[in-house]
Structure 1
Amino acid sequence: MKVLIVDDEAHARTNLRFALQSLPGWEVAGECASAPAARAFLDSSDADIILLDVQMPVESGLEFARSLSSREDPPLIIFVTAHRGHALEAFDVHALDYIVKPVDEGRLQQALARAGQLCDQRAAYARALRGFVNPIPGYWTELAVRSVGRIDRVKLSDVLWIESAGNYVELHLPQRTLLHRCTMSELERHLDPAHFVRIHRRILVRCGQIVAFRQANDGGHTLTLACGAELPVSERFSAAVKASLSRGLIRPS
């Protein structure tokens, strides 16, 4: 596997080079002191993975990572930085990992092992990166979901319901549940309201899954889904859900 080291500090590049030399199966393809130099390198050479600093003069690592979306087959990105505060931004540009300096060799080896498992999915990674940087106008129809060692393309028409989990959402599918790095409010903005309805501050349901709307024993309400799941409908959303059902505004997707 070929690794490109991009860091404006010479000693940081040296430390990473020595660390990589002790790991079998990894080759340092090149070293660059800036994002423009790294871009020029990639124009004439190839790298599977970039070990990328965040704060660099002229162009930050985050800006450089976003610019890679224009490439047909961009390298996978692992940020290596002294700054802890950019982790969320790093994952927003589909970085695979975020390592804080000083670099622990075991931690670096773990990150590279995960990246190595994903190298055969660089095409899916490229689609995910382009989708974030240059989203297609209109409602989303699929998501690129990263997990350890893989990237899954999930069709939203296969999702039964979505549940908030902090800065993530749980995508409930017929055979499994996937955790996706996105807040509920951010995701909802991109969902077709004819296909998904909010029933709780933490839950969105695909309309085609709704089988029954019932009053629970405690006076609240529940939705029964075709998959058999029963989900709570909060008082805040119950009137709107009931009205939409009665008027036929919620319809199978």
Structure 2
Amino acid sequence: MKKIKTIIIDDEPYSRDELTFLLKEYEDIEIIGEADSGEKGLEIVMRNEPDVVFVDIEMPQMSGLELAKALTNMKQAPLIIFATAYADYAVKAFRVQALDYLVKPFDEEQIEDVIGRIKERLHNTDFKEKEKSTAAVGKLAVEDDGRIVYIPPKDITYLFREERETIICTKDRTFRLRTPIKELEEKLRAYPFFRTHKSYLVNLDKVEELIPWFNGAFQVKVVGRKEEIPVSRNYVKALREQLEL
């Protein structure tokens, strides 16, 4: 498994330690450096070329926003995740093409959502060109009443985790299996599936509508299904980038 090289830049030692502790829960995240100022952070990033940088917005001298503007001009710019005590910085964060932002104090759910978006973005970057030239022909094997049914991934509308089962939904049927959703996500990498929520994976080719819900979250309407699928607010921007011309 390829590690996601990560750097944390924050002038507050406690915040750096807290974020480091939470990120170390993820085996594929590798923290390769830290910095306590924007100037030192820029130097470390240029020297180490990380995949993702967590940046505190409010730092003396070079602020996180100024640092982010400098990073986006790099030939291989890292993904930028802002950390801030004030949620109203979100608009400014997205103006400098940040992937997302975390509001202090950090919590595990925030981190999980952000890590999901990082993996989705890096996955799309790493595999999109490769998969254009590689015709994936495999089918997903599912046991159904003692038989093995082979489902073409293009026929899957969405899948989700419910208690200890993963439910696969096509236009006309549903199938239940024990395989974790993360394992199925890996098998479906060659196809246009997108994690809209920690428990949901949606086939982008089946999306018909994006419907506002509440607190910045949305719901997705898909072809052939009456139910609507949740989209966490932290995934909305990336989802729209994938869907819209």
Name the TM-score, length of structure 1 as normaliser. 0.47
Larger Rg: 1
